[in-house]
């Protein structure tokens, strides 16, 4: 009986946004009761052992605190999980889906939201939601210009930073134009992950910010009429850059860890990551020499938030919500920010935390290669998701089929 | 005994039905929607090159593998060197494709072991050279990897066939007539041998054209081979992409069929050529010395690239800091193994569980088929033999996407049981091929003697035949385990990402470049089949410790 009631409550959950705190608390108790004993399948990119270990640790917390078992389904690409849910929808499977929780943002979120593949809204009803720094970090509620509307819950902040080894490179280039000059003078020492890889496409967008006259248009969807003219400087830039790249742009690393490995192996001199703490974490893990430092470009670099979302047909919604809430827990957020663990920036408003929770963050060392929030400089907003899709496609047509 | 009669059709069904159902499941979305999938595929600018890469690497790898196999057989058959090669075949064959590819990548990359060993003394390189060796646009490293992996397979098939064609006596007669080793082998043994060899060669060709895991690791990326691109599209999401992937899968199937037809035509021409020239062909004894040298080098390259590659993987899994151009790591540490132990143990457990389930079922079905053959006096037709090779010849990439959709609709995907079932389809042919020879070669007079003493068919099977064939059964078991552990695409697609095996993990990690962790997964991928082969050797030795005559039987 109890189980059935909880299920009914759960079904009504998205509609309860207007409820009082007390009612919400009762609501959450029902979710917790329903979640106990569930196994949540979290589909998350599995290419980085540090992140995998972190997710394992979150799983231990979930099992200790709530009796929820967390299974990390390691994906090669987030699109795998999207494809999965899409296939289930096509097969008419509206209940008991295989995916309970997805690490998601950007185009995948936009695609799933527009096709009705997401459960929600749920994020703003999570007990830890009030701790999120919505005002200071607008990217926690705006995903690639698309309002999240509670259909995904943030868990980490990311910003593009460049990495270099001070032993080999004294004065790294400071903007997109000087990167081209530097690469021309030092051929074979720079590359980027092959689009449609996420980080590779982000590099293209960063170039776009650097070569466009008016980057503000990036906040609107791609307009076919102006697209060719607006992106012409990007392709011109790449046409000049590619002959100077690692392997003469005849091959590209496939993702962020592969790019980082090239820096570690001394095959390239400048690398970049979407995690300002990555370099410090890799130094701590012994994978990068401790002479590696990070820098950002004058004028700022692209930043965004990582989210979790729940598919419409997830078999274990309650458990998935419990995990989404747990990810916002100050203890979990502080662990993620620890450069020895992940070095991800928190989504929480430190001022809103209880003193003992704020102390967890104060106790963290920045890490030898991590820039302070002030040094990280301005955060450029992610362009509308259609830009990412479109330039990744065009990139493949231009450079991905080796004419 | 009537139940036994059902075994052959059931076994063939287990191989043919998934292939047929999967092909239908792929064809439906490919041709559905007014052929939109094909239209989109034709619009993709990378298509000509991806298709050409698929054909080129597949044909080149097959020609090279076959040539090297024939060369090794011709140069070494009947010599002590052949005994050494024979001992290496099973362990080399048990190396999963993904592990072999990763090992090769660790070896030949500009920052790989070979460059490290030669730098900076020989090469002068202080940092890895900016050379395009891995993922080269012509698929050369992919071809090399395929050859290294297929030569042991073809040699194993040849070992089974050589005694049946009476190779030794043919070679002796040719030698007494003054023919060189090579000419004698090609003119007298090869025509008979190749007949037994054809289906395995077709399997090599089809595999070479359509491999996904090896192509993802070693193959080009701008664009990748057609099969690798299909897998990328499959996982990219979007129904449009899936239609396109299905259309490409059908195209891939067509390409494979074309290549097989072409190969068959070459066979016919070659047969006529050998026949027409055999009687007045030069005896070419002067060819023997260079050919033997080439065979030595070739077998050394194949065995060396596999063994050194695996050594590199093992070393990385225990390496401390290891900067280029040091030939060896600064220190050794178990840190990688320690921190990955829980994940490794869980994944190894799943992998082994699936392998054991698939292999045990395959062994039972194979024994039932073979026993039915004996008890019911069934004669295996050549059509049945072709069916046996069906899952090996029809490209996996052509029927697995359809099978995935089907399994999804039936709610059967994403479980270890579903993965074990699809593994069975691929394990069965190898187990059958490995066991059928020894089973049929068992001396029937023993059965006759037992029958005259009043033993039933069942008693003869359980008390005489099976115990005496314990060695071959265990070897077939080890082969089955190795085949199951090596499966990438079936595990990925039917497992729906939720069933992780050592192979899917190793390939997923391969793009990330964490060599230590890749090394750990690949080493486990190797150890499990190696352990199975070790057991297959050790158990008969213990069983037959009091029976000298039995020890040679495995």
CATH number of the CATH domain containing A279: 3.40.190.10
pLDDT tens digits along A23-81: 778 889 999 999 999 999 999 987 777 898 999 999 999 999 999 999 998 876 777 78
Is pLDDT above 60 for A4?
A: no
State the nearest Cα–Cα gap between A73 and chain B, in angstroms.
6
Partners of A311 in beta bridges: A118
In chain A, the residue whose alpha carbon lies closest to the alpha carbon of B505 is A74
**pLDDT tens readout for residues B448-470:** 999 999 999 889 999 999 988 98
Q: Does residue B553 register a pLDDT over 80?
A: no
Give contacts of B 511-550 with A, CB under 8 A. 511-515, 517
Among A114-118, A289-293, B279-283, whose mean pLDDT is lowest?
A: B279-283
Task: Select the more confidently predicted residue: A78 or B484.
Answer: B484
Check whether residue A37 and residue A115 sit in a common domain.
yes
Q: Average model confidence (pLDDT) for chain B?
A: 88
Q: With an 8 Å Cβ cutoff, is A258 touching chain B?
A: yes
**pLDDT for the residue B321:** 81
Cis peptide before B325 (omega within 30 of 0): yes
Q: Where are the domains of chain B?
A: 1-28+333-554, 44-315
Q: How many domains are there within chain A? A: 2
**CB contact A373 to B (< 8 Å):** no
Contact in structure between B432 and B391 (CB atoms under 8 Å):
no
pLDDT at B236: 67
For chain B positions 256-285, those within 8 Å of chain A (CB to CB) are: none
Across the interface, of A86, A247, A251, the residue whose CB is closest to B239 is A86
Q: Which residues of A touch B242 (CB under 8 A)?
A: 83, 87
Query: Has residue B285 got a pLDDT over 90?
Result: no
Predicted pLDDT at B239? 63
User: pLDDT tens for residues B355-384?
Assistant: 999 999 999 999 999 998 888 777 777 787
Q: How confident is the model at residue B1 (pLDDT cuts 50, 70, 90)?
A: low
Contact yes or no for A75 and B497 at CB 8 A? yes
A356, part of any domain: no
| Closest chain B CA to residue A393 | B44
Name chain B contacts of A269, Cβ cutoff 8 Å: none
User: How many CB pairs lie under 8 A apart between chains A and B?
Assistant: 144
**Taking CB atoms and an 8 Å cutoff, what residues of chain B touch A262?**
513
Task: Judge contact between A391 and B39, C-beta under 8 A.
Answer: no
CB within 8 Å: B508 and A397? no
pLDDT at A402: 61
Task: Choose the CATH number for B1-28+333-554 among 1.10.10.10, 3.30.499.10, 1.10.3720.10, 2.60.120.510.
Answer: 1.10.3720.10
Task: State pLDDT tens for residues B215-256.
Answer: 999 999 889 999 999 988 887 655 667 788 999 999 999 999
Contact (CB<8Å) A261/B324: no
Give B64→chain A minimum CA distance, Å. Answer: 26
Find the mean pLDDT for residues A187-202: 92
Is the domain of A294 the same as that of A332? no
- Can you tell me the distance from the alpha carbon of A135 to that of A153, in angstroms, rounded to the nearest whole number? 15
Given an 8 Å threshold on Cβ–Cβ distance, is B128 in contact with A397?
no
Which of A56, A83, A114, A400 is the best mutation test for B, with the most CBs of B within 10 A?
A83
Nearest to B324 among A53, A254, A266 (CB): A266
Is residue A326 domain-shared with residue A269, that is, in the same domain?
A: no
Question: What is the pLDDT, as a whole number, of residue B453?
Answer: 93
CA closest to A262 among chain B residues: B513
| pLDDT for A3 beyond 50 | no
- Neighbouring-strand partners of residue A42: A72, A101
Residues in contact with B410: Cβ distance below 8 Å, sequence separation at least 6, in sequence order: none
Domain membership flag for residue A180: yes
How many contiguous H segments (helices) and E segments (strands) does chain A have? 15, 11
Q: State whether A288 and A336 are in the same domain.
A: no
CB contact under 8 A, B508 and A257: no
Q: What is the CATH number that goes with domain B44-315?
A: 1.10.3720.10
What token pair was written down for B235? Answer: 């996982």
pLDDT at B155 over 70: yes
The shortest CB-CB distance from B128 to any of A76, A248, A266 is to A266
Contact B391, B19 (CB under 8 A): yes
Judged by a CB distance cut-off of 8 A, whether residue B99 touches chain A is: no
Asked if A285 is an interface residue toward chain B (Cβ–Cβ < 8 A), one would say no
Is the CB of B221 less than 8 angstroms away from the CB of A254? yes
**A378 CA: distance to closest CA in chain B (Å):** 30
**Is residue A2 very low, low, confident or very high in pLDDT (cuts 50, 70, 90)?**
very low
User: What digits encode the pLDDT tens for the residues B495-548?
Assistant: 877 788 999 988 888 877 788 889 999 999 989 998 998 898 888 888 878 776
From residue B436, give the alpha-carbon distance in Å to each of A326, B326, B367, B429: 57, 50, 9, 10
The closest of A211, A169, A210, A209 to A189, measured between CA atoms, is A169
A136 in any annotated domain? yes
| Cβ contacts of A86 on chain B, cutoff 8 Å | 237-239
A83 touches chain B (CB under 8 A): yes
Residue B354, CA atoms < 13 Å, CB-side half-sphere: 35
The reply to whether A294 falls in a domain is yes
State the residue range of the domain holding A336.
Answer: 2-145+307-340
Contact across the interface for A265 and B111, Cβ inside 8 Å: yes
Contacts of A254 in chain B (CB under 8 A): 221, 511-512
Question: Based on the domain organization, do A141 and A167 belong to the same domain?
Answer: no
pLDDT (0 to 100) of residue B312: 94
pLDDT of A399 over the 70 cut: yes
Domains B1-28+333-554 and B44-315 alike in fold = yes
Encoding tokens for residue B74?
């011709």
In a domain, A345, yes or no: no
* A76–B343 CB contact, under 8 Å: no
pLDDT of residue B237: 58
Separation in Å, CA of A183 to nearest CA in chain B: 14
Query: Do A382 and A245 share a structural domain?
Result: yes
Is A252 in contact with B111 (Cβ distance < 8 A)?
no
CB-based contact B497 A80, cutoff 8 Å: yes
What number is the average pLDDT over the span B192-197? 85
Give a yes or no: residue A354 inside a domain: no
Complex confidence, ipTM: 0.79
Say whether both A289 and A324 belong to one domain. Answer: no
Give the residue on B whose Cα is nearest the Cα of A95. Answer: B411
The candidate with the shortest Cα–Cα distance to B505, out of B359, B392, B340, B389, is: B340
**Nearest partner of B304 among B108, B521, B533, judged by Cα:** B108
* Domain annotation covers residue A353: no
Q: pLDDT value at position A5?
A: 43
Among chain A residues, the shortest Cα distance to B221 is held by A251
To the nearest whole angstrom, how far is the Cα of B107 from the nearest Cα of chain A? 15
Stretch 327-386 of chain B: residues touching chain A, C-beta under 8 Å: 339-340, 342-343
Residue A383 tokens read as 């362009």
Please indicate if any CB of chain B lies within 8 Å of the CB of A95.
no
Question: A251–B136: do the CB atoms touch at under 8 Å?
Answer: yes
Contact at CB, A188 and B130, closer than 8 angstroms: yes
Q: Dihedral sign, CA of A246, A248, A249, A251? A: negative
Cα separation of B536 and B539, whole Å?
A: 6
Tell me if chain A has a CB within 8 Å of the CB of B408.
Answer: yes
Query: Which tops the pLDDT comparison, B343 or A118?
Result: A118
Q: Do B237 and A267 touch (CB under 8 A)?
A: no
Residues of chain B numbered 231-250 and touching chain A (CB < 8 Å): 234-239, 241-242
Q: How far is the alpha carbon of A370 from chain B, nearest alpha carbon, in Å?
A: 22
Measured between beta carbons, the chain A residues lying within 8 angstroms of B241 are: 83
Closest CA–CA distance from residue A17 to any residue of chain B (Å): 32
Query: Which of A230-234, A288-292, B119-123 is most confident?
Result: A230-234
Which of A53, A254, A267 is nearest residue B111 as measured by Cβ atoms? Answer: A267
Q: Is A84 on the interface with B (CB under 8 A)?
A: yes
- Name the residue among A74, A253, A401 with its Cβ closest to that of B223: A401
Q: What are A143's strand-pairing partners? A: A146
> For residue B5, with 0-12 CB atoms within 10 Å meaning exposed, 13-18 middle and 19 or more buried, which class applies?
middle
Q: Does A267 touch chain B (CB under 8 A)?
A: yes
Residue B135: what pLDDT?
A: 87
Tokens 């593998």, residue?
B65
Lowest average pLDDT, out of A18-27, A85-94, B147-156, goes to A18-27
Q: What is the mean pLDDT of residues B397-422?
A: 85
Residue A142 phi, psi dihedral angles, 5° rounding: -125, 110
The answer to whether residue B127 neighbours chain A at the CB level (below 8 Å) is yes
Q: In this complex, is the C-beta atom of A59 within 8 Å of any C-beta atom belonging to chain B?
A: no
What's the rounded Cα separation, in Å, for the pair A12 and A35?
A: 16
Locate the DSSP E strands across B26-150: none
CA angle B131, B133, B139 (to 5 degrees): 140
């Amino acid at each position: 009986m109890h189980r059935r009631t909880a299920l009914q409550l759960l079904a009504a959950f998205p509609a309860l946004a207007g409820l009082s705190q007390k009612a919400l608390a009762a609501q959450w108790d029902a979710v917790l009761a329903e979640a106990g004993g569930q196994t949540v399948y979290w589909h998350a990119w599995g290419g980085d052992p540090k992140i995998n270990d972190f997710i394992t640790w979150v799983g231990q917390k979930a099992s200790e605190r709530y009796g929820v078992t967390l299974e990390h389904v390691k994906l090669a690409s987030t699109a795998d999980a999207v494809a999965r849910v899409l296939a289930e929808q096509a097969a008419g499977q509206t209940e008991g889906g295989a995916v309970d929780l997805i690490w998601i943002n950007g185009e995948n979120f936009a695609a799933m939201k527009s096709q009705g593949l997401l459960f929600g809204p749920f994020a703003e009803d999570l007990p830890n939601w009030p701790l999120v720094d919505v005002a200071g970090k607008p990217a926690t509620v705006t995903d690639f210009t698309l309002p999240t509307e509670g259909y995904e819950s943030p868990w980490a902040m990311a910003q593009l930073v460049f990495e270099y080894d001070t032993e080999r490179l004294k004065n790294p280039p400071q903007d997109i134009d000087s990167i081209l000059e530097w690469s021309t003078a030092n051929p074979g020492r720079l590359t980027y992950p092959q689009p449609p890889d996420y980080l590779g496409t982000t590099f293209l967008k960063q170039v776009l910010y650097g070569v466009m006259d008016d980057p503000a248009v990036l906040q609107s969807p791609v307009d076919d009429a102006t697209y060719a003219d607006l992106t012409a400087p990007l392709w011109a830039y790449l046409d000049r850059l590619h002959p100077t790249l690692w392997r003469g742009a005849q091959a590209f690393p496939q993702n962020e860890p592969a790019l980082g490995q090239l820096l570690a192996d001394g095959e390239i001199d400048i690398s970049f990551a979407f995690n300002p703490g990555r370099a410090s974490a890799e130094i701590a893990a012994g994978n990068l020499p401790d002479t590696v430092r990070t820098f950002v470009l004058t004028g700022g670099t692209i930043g965004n938030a990582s989210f979790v979302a729940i598919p419409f047909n997830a078999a274990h919604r309650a458990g998935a919500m419990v995990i989404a809430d747990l990810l916002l827990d100050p203890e979990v957020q502080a662990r993620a920010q620890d450069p020895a663990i992940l070095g991800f920036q928190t989504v929480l408003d430190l001022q809103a935390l209880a003193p003992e929770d704020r102390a967890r963050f104060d106790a963290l060392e920045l890490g030898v290669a991590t820039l302070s929030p002030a040094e990280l400089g301005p955060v450029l907003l992610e362009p509308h998701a259609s830009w990412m899709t479109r330039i990744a496609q065009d990139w493949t047509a231009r450079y991905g089929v080796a004419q | 005994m009537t139940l036994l009669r059902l075994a052959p059709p059931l076994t063939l069904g287990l191989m043919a039905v998934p292939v047929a159902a999967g092909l239908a499941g792929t064809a439906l979305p490919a041709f559905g929607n007014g052929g939109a999938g094909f239209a989109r595929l034709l619009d993709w600018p990378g298509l000509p090159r991806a298709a050409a890469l698929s054909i080129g690497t597949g044909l080149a790898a097959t020609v090279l593998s076959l040539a090297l196999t024939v060369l090794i057989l011709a140069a070494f058959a009947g010599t002590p060197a052949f005994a050494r090669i024979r001992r290496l075949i099973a362990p080399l064959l048990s190396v999963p494709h993904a592990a072999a590819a990763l090992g090769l990548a660790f070896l030949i990359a500009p920052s790989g072991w070979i460059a490290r060993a030669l730098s900076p003394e020989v090469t002068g390189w202080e940092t890895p050279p900016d050379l395009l060796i891995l993922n080269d646009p012509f698929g050369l490293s992919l071809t090399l990897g395929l050859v290294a992996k297929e030569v042991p397979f073809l040699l194993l098939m040849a070992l089974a066939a050589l005694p049946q064609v009476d190779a030794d006596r043919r070679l002796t007669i040719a030698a007494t007539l003054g023919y060189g080793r090579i000419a004698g082998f090609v003119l007298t043994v090869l025509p008979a041998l190749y007949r037994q060899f054809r289906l395995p060669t077709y399997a090599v060709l089809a595999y070479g054209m359509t491999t996904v895991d090896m192509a993802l690791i070693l193959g080009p990326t701008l664009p990748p081979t057609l099969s690798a691109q299909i897998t990328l599209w499959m996982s990219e999401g979007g129904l449009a992409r899936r239609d396109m992937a299905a259309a490409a899968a059908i195209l891939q199937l067509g390409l494979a069929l074309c290549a097989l037809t072409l190969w068959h035509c070459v066979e016919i021409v070659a047969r006529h050529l050998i026949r027409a020239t055999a009687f007045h062909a030069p005896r070419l004894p002067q060819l023997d010395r260079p050919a033997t040298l080439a065979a030595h080098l070739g077998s050394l390259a194949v065995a060396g690239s596999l063994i050194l590659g695996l050594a590199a993987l093992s070393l990385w899994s225990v390496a401390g800091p290891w900067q280029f151009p040091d030939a060896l790591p600064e220190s050794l540490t178990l840190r990688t193994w320690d921190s990955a132990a829980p994940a490794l143990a869980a994944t190894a457990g799943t992998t082994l569980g699936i392998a054991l389930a698939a292999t045990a079922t395959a062994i039972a079905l194979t024994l039932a088929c073979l026993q039915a053959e004996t008890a019911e006096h069934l004669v295996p037709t050549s059509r049945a033999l072709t069916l046996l090779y069906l899952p090996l010849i029809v490209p996996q990439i052509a029927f697995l996407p359809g099978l995935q959709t089907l399994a999804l609709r039936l709610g059967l995907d994403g479980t270890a049981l579903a993965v074990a079932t699809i593994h069975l389809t691929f394990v069965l042919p190898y187990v059958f091929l490995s066991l059928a020879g020894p089973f049929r070669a068992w001396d029937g007079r023993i059965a006759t003697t037992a029958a005259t003493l009043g033993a039933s068919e069942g008693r003869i099977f359980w008390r005489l035949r099976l115990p005496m064939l314990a060695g071959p059964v265990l070897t077939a078991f080890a082969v089955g385990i190795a085949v199951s552990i090596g499966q990438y695409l079936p595990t990925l697609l039917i497992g729906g990402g939720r069933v992780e095996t050592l192979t899917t993990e190793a390939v997923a990690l391969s793009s990330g470049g964490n060599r230590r962790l890749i090394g750990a997964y690949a080493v486990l991928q190797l150890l499990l089949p190696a352990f199975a082969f070790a057991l297959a050797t050790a158990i008969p030795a213990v069983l037959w410790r009091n029976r000298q005559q039995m020890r040679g039987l495995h």
